[in-house]
Amino acid sequence: MNNFTFQNPTKLVFGKGSIAQLPKEISKKAKVMLTFGGGSVKNNGVYSQVIAALEGYNLVEFWGIEPNPKVETLRKAVELGKAEKVDFILAVGGGSTLDGTKLIAAAIPYAGDAWELVLNPKLIKTAVPFASVMTLPATGSEMNSGAVISNVATKEKFAFHAHFPQFAVLDPEVTYSLPPYQIACGIADTFVHVMEQYLTSPGQSLLMDRWAEGILKTLTEIAPEIDENPQDYDLMSTYMLCATMALNGFIAMGVPQDWATHMIGHELTALHGLTHGESLAIVLPATMTVLSEQKKDKILQYGERIFGITKGSDGLRVAEIIARTEAFFRSLGLHTRLSELNIGEETIAEIERRFDERGVKFGECQNVNGAVARAILECCL
Amino acid sequence: MNNFTFQNPTKLVFGKGSIAQLPKEISKKAKVMLTFGGGSVKNNGVYSQVIAALEGYNLVEFWGIEPNPKVETLRKAVELGKAEKVDFILAVGGGSTLDGTKLIAAAIPYAGDAWELVLNPKLIKTAVPFASVMTLPATGSEMNSGAVISNVATKEKFAFHAHFPQFAVLDPEVTYSLPPYQIACGIADTFVHVMEQYLTSPGQSLLMDRWAEGILKTLTEIAPEIDENPQDYDLMSTYMLCATMALNGFIAMGVPQDWATHMIGHELTALHGLTHGESLAIVLPATMTVLSEQKKDKILQYGERIFGITKGSDGLRVAEIIARTEAFFRSLGLHTRLSELNIGEETIAEIERRFDERGVKFGECQNVNGAVARAILECCL
């Protein structure tokens, strides 16, 4: 096991009716900025619950943080926050609203432009305290310090790490009105978050392996049931808990990580606007295929413990396990091939060029460069 | 799943050589009280590592916190801390040293007697900040707010909850010199911590079940290997991580808990000085037997997932699963029967009397009263 440092201060307030607990968590004296996405929270009752809970607070609202939040939008929120001198921000929405809010919180006390903080997080010295009412289980952003921000002008999409949310309000009932496609993408996103921290080499940590497998197994069990009963409280609370636990550091203690699939997926989103979870469903099986020799032992462990695949030669089992993984994503209703989306050589060449230009090397062996990314993307066709 | 609130602010600094990182975690300006147990840290090199790391700090030492720390001892440390005006406490030792330190930290700023805080933790308004260098993986105290304190005068042993440690330094190498009996008790303690949060009724949380089972399975895998290779770094780091993760709230989200085995075990320790882990190894199989009807479904799930027991009638499987659990404790070299320790009716009657007198009802169904405790203890004979 590798040496590690772990700390996660975020408070979870989880369960039915938990939005009503907001006044316990936010000082009555705070000037609170509420940040929102496109408006779905006005249709599903979340907005009115939040406003009712925060009656008597001094509130200012910022609307319009889009999926894959754009720095161009967030700059407007930063201006508003500076002008209104807000001292708390509550993100009400999904991972994109919260990711955007993490940048807003850091950029309000910063004199320069927000994008500078994405490119160089060391410039972040402080942040306005912030928290979330999470409406879409997927990114895990509610209990980590990371965020992914897009830049329309440069067609770039980068992750950065800064501050943790003070708390996250997680009421599984707010997920009842989610469209099936968003749930499918959220399950895929959660699944791949775990895989990025798990599918490296075996024997790094027996316990972290078991916990990662615990999330993967649970997702494969609940996914078909959620498809049939999207308003089942126990199912949706399990899904919500899985999403949070998949990316809060709990399964990453002392183990190597990969993240190549995410880095390639981010490029697909930056170039074509693919929904994040679907981009991962396309890339992961190909990453497993191209790196199957390097990851073989862990793929075999994963296949046995998650899908019960134990028969046949190593090579046949690896192929079957990758096929089962792709089939799982397809069972969610997601595309798993670039050709289904009319994405081809032009995009592959551009991503290869970007990886080469930046000199990046992703993955637990730091060997996913432009050429390997090309091989993975060709395998997604 | 039940509603829940979760927050755990403790920072883990884990791995080889991590004691050297102490100066990163403690202000150079702090007046630091070091608290110790009986002196084993002077023989295994931990004391000299700590002193070397804290060169230049203003230090005061308190020695002699015993296993099952006694309020009579801790009062002396409180006096010392008040007299020296310490503003940070570092516990260097096992769970008992740290548990005692939690009370010391709370009692230094308190005007009354320390035992009042154990009996009524609501009196705890503040505490001196504290942390630990953990030398014995077992209690999980390094990452939770709980502590168990004994009172010699009254022959009582009670748990209370107050503040979390600021950080925990966990270097698996410091466990290499532990006596096999202490390791055995630590593994049993860790195992039963998980069982208290797990062995209630199934379907409460699919994910928490998987994570609890992940710790249990890992413990059953590493225990025989540790017995043969107590200086294997990967084994001891896995054991250390299991101990911390078993009682930091990570597997308790949204699920009911039991703790009847602990409450009965505490009485055995209070009356006879049994080592905590061994008291649990004696009581748990009996708790499972007496409450087997109430816990049947979860026992069957546990038996299948941890021991692979799937054949036979429910009744036969339950009996086999309980026998396997007791056999696991015996494989650690622990006693599992009161009669082996010449404990009998007199003690059973006293524990029944105490439970009745206090009017307590433990367990997830709040049905473990004096009479049920008697039945469990008779089953331990």
Residues 6+ apart with CB under 8 A from B87: B30, B31, B32, B128, B129
Q: What mean pLDDT comes out for the span A300-317? A: 98
The answer as to CATH 1.20.1090.10 being correct for domain A181-379 is yes
- Give the helix/strand (H/E) hosting B206: helix B206-228
Q: Decide if B237 and A8 are in contact by the 8 Å CB cutoff.
A: no
Position A108 pLDDT exceeds 90: yes
CA distance B258 to chain A (A): 21
Q: What mean pLDDT comes out for the span A14-30? A: 98
The string of pLDDT tens digits covering residues B324-355 is 999 999 999 999 999 999 999 999 999 999 99
Q: What is the distance between the alpha carbons of residues B314 and B311, in angstroms, rounded to a whole number? A: 9
Average pLDDT value over all residues in chain B = 97
CA distance B367 to chain A (A): 26
Q: Decide if B206 and A12 are in contact by the 8 Å CB cutoff.
A: no
Cβ–Cβ < 8 Å for B304, B310: yes
pLDDT band at A241 (very low <50, low <70, confident <90, very high): very high
Q: Output the pLDDT for position A82.
A: 98
Write the single-letter amino acid at A297. D
In degrees and rounded to multiples of 5, residue B64 shows phi and psi of 110, 20
Q: What mean pLDDT comes out for the span A120-127? A: 97
CA distance B67 to chain A (A): 28
pLDDT band at B300 (very low <50, low <70, confident <90, very high): very high
pLDDT band at A201 (very low <50, low <70, confident <90, very high): confident
Cβ–Cβ < 8 Å for A174, A47: no
Q: What is the distance between the alpha carbons of residues A204 and B239, in angstroms, rounded to a whole number? A: 13
Nearest 10 degrees: Cα torsion A154, A155, A159, A165: 90
Q: What mean pLDDT comes out for the span A207-224? A: 98
CB of B226 less than 8 A from some CB of A? no
CA distance A289 to chain B (A): 28
Instruction: Name which of A12, A206, A215 is nearest B238 (Cβ-Cβ).
Output: A206
Chain B, residues 242-261, CB within 8 A of chain A, namely 242, 245, 250, 253-254
**Residue of A164, A335, A341 whose CA lies nearest to A244:** A164
Chain A, residues 156-215, CB within 8 A of chain B, namely 167, 203, 205-208, 210-211, 213-215
Report chain B residues whose CB lies below 8 A from the CB of A193.
Answer: none
CA distance A256 to chain B (A): 14
CB of A222 less than 8 A from some CB of B? yes
How many interface pairs between A and B have CB atoms less than 8 angstroms apart? 122
Per the DSSP assignment, residues forming a β-bridge with A70 are A150
Which residue of chain B has the CA closest to A1? B234
Tokens representing A286 are 């190909």
- Of the listed ranges A219-223, A250-254, B80-84, B154-158, the least confidently predicted one is B154-158
Residue A43 burial class via C-beta count within 10 angstroms: exposed 0-12, middle 13-18, buried 19 and up: exposed
Position A203 pLDDT exceeds 90: no
Q: What mean pLDDT comes out for the span B215-226? A: 98
Q: Decide if A3 and B10 are in contact by the 8 Å CB cutoff.
A: no
The answer as to CATH 3.50.50.60 being correct for domain A11-174 is no
The string of pLDDT tens digits covering residues A65-96 is 999 899 999 999 999 999 999 999 999 999 99
* Residue-wise DSSP of A51-101: HHHTTTSEEEEE--PPSS-BHHHHHHHHHHHHHHT-SEEEEEESHHHHHHH
CA distance A331 to chain B (A): 21
Cβ–Cβ < 8 Å for A12, A244: yes
Tokens representing A348 are 């592959």
Q: Decide if A211 and B214 are in contact by the 8 Å CB cutoff.
A: yes
- ipTM of predicted complex: 0.96
Q: Decide if A9 and B14 are in contact by the 8 Å CB cutoff.
A: no
Q: Decide if B241 and A11 are in contact by the 8 Å CB cutoff.
A: no
pLDDT band at B203 (very low <50, low <70, confident <90, very high): confident
Residue B221 burial class via C-beta count within 10 angstroms: exposed 0-12, middle 13-18, buried 19 and up: middle
Q: Output the pLDDT for position B155.
A: 85
- C-alpha separations of A175 from A230, A239, B67 in Å: 8, 10, 49
The string of pLDDT tens digits covering residues B29-71 is 999 999 999 999 999 999 999 999 999 999 999 999 999 899 9
Report chain B residues whose CB lies below 8 A from the CB of A17.
Answer: 3
Q: Decide if A18 and B3 are in contact by the 8 Å CB cutoff.
A: yes
Q: What is the distance between the alpha carbons of residues A182 and A243, in angstroms, rounded to a whole number? A: 13
In degrees and rounded to multiples of 5, residue B273 shows phi and psi of 75, 15
pLDDT band at B201 (very low <50, low <70, confident <90, very high): confident
A181-379: same fold as A11-174?
no
Look at the alpha carbons of A153, A154, A159, A164 in this order and tell me if their dihedral is positive or negative.
negative
- Number of alpha helices (DSSP H) and beta strands (DSSP E) in chain B: 15, 8
B199: left (phi over 0), alpha (psi -120 to 50) or beta: beta
Count, residues in chain B: 381
Tokens representing A48 are 């009115």
Instruction: Name which of A7, A210, A214 is nearest B207 (Cβ-Cβ).
Output: A214
Residues 6+ apart with CB under 8 A from A75: A107, A113, A114
CB of B22 less than 8 A from some CB of A? no
* Residue-wise DSSP of B125-153: -----EEEEE-S-SS-GGGSSEEEEEETT
Q: Decide if B205 and A238 are in contact by the 8 Å CB cutoff.
A: yes
Q: Output the pLDDT for position A194.
A: 98
Classify each residue of A283-292 as buried b or exposed e, where b means 16 or more C-beta atoms within 10 Å of its C-beta. bbbbbbbbbb
Position B318 pLDDT exceeds 90: yes
Tokens representing B130 are 């504290």
Q: What mean pLDDT comes out for the span B6-24? A: 98
Q: What is the distance between the alpha carbons of residues A42 and A163, in angstroms, rounded to a whole number? A: 28
Return the number of other C-beta atoms located less than 10 Å from residue B349's C-beta: 13
Chain B, residues 100-159, CB within 8 A of chain A, namely none
Which of the following CATH numbers is that of domain B180-379: 1.10.510.10, 1.20.1090.10, 3.40.720.10, 3.40.640.10? 1.20.1090.10
The strand ranges marked E within A130-234 are 130-134, 146-151, 156-161, 167-170
Q: Decide if B3 and A17 are in contact by the 8 Å CB cutoff.
A: yes
Q: What is the distance between the alpha carbons of residues A292 and A298, in angstroms, rounded to a whole number? A: 9
pLDDT band at B157 (very low <50, low <70, confident <90, very high): confident
The string of pLDDT tens digits covering residues A97-107 is 999 999 999 99
Which residue of chain B has the CA closest to A209? B214
Tokens representing B184 are 């055995």
Return the number of other C-beta atoms located less than 10 Å from residue A169's C-beta: 29
Q: Decide if A3 and B9 are in contact by the 8 Å CB cutoff.
A: no
Return the number of other C-beta atoms located less than 10 Å from residue A251's C-beta: 25
Q: What is the distance between the alpha carbons of residues A4 and B170, in angstroms, rounded to a whole number? A: 10
Quote the DSSP letter at residue B38.
S
**Residue of A51, A17, A13 whose CA lies nearest to A233:** A17
Q: What is the distance between the alpha carbons of residues B250 and A147, in angstroms, rounded to a whole number? A: 24
State the pairing for strand pair B156-161/B146-151.
antiparallel
* Residue-wise DSSP of A222-237: HHHHHHH-TT-HHHHH
Quote the DSSP letter at residue B261.
H
Return the number of other C-beta atoms located less than 10 Å from residue B367's C-beta: 13
> What does R_g of chain B's alpha carbons equal in angstroms?
20
Which residue of chain B has the CA closest to A173? B3
Instruction: Name which of A12, A218, A233 is nearest B210 (Cβ-Cβ).
Output: A218
Average pLDDT value over all residues in chain A = 97
CB of A344 less than 8 A from some CB of B? no
Which residue of chain B has the CA closest to A166? B7
Chain B, residues 254-313, CB within 8 A of chain A, namely 254
Domain boundaries, chain B: 11-174, 180-379
Position A278 pLDDT exceeds 90: yes
Instruction: Name which of A1, A213, A215 is nearest B237 (Cβ-Cβ).
Output: A1
Nearest 10 degrees: Cα torsion B367, B372, B377, B379: -110
Whether pTM > 0.90 for this model: the answer is yes
CA distance B342 to chain A (A): 38
Q: What is the distance between the alpha carbons of residues B13 and B25, in angstroms, rounded to a whole number? A: 10
Return the number of other C-beta atoms located less than 10 Å from residue A176's C-beta: 13
Tokens representing B154 are 């009254």
Position B156 pLDDT exceeds 90: no
Tokens 């993984």 map to which residue? Answer: A325
State the pairing for strand pair B130-134/B167-170.
parallel
Return the number of other C-beta atoms located less than 10 Å from residue A314's C-beta: 12
Q: Decide if B238 and A5 are in contact by the 8 Å CB cutoff.
A: no
Tokens 């008597």 map to which residue? Answer: A56
At residue A372, the 3 state secondary structure works out as: helix
Q: Decide if B11 and A12 are in contact by the 8 Å CB cutoff.
A: no
Report chain A residues whose CB lies below 8 A from the CB of B6.
Answer: 11-12, 14
Query: How many angstroms separate the first and last alpha carbons of chain B?
Result: 37
Return the number of other C-beta atoms located less than 10 Å from residue B374's C-beta: 20
CA distance B170 to chain A (A): 10
Q: Decide if A237 and B1 are in contact by the 8 Å CB cutoff.
A: yes
B45: left (phi over 0), alpha (psi -120 to 50) or beta: left
Q: Output the pLDDT for position B56.
A: 97
Instruction: Name which of A14, A203, A215 is nearest B207 (Cβ-Cβ).
Output: A215
Q: Decide if A15 and B2 are in contact by the 8 Å CB cutoff.
A: yes
Cβ–Cβ < 8 Å for B183, B28: no
Q: Output the pLDDT for position A155.
A: 85
Position B202 pLDDT exceeds 90: no
Cβ–Cβ < 8 Å for B282, B335: yes
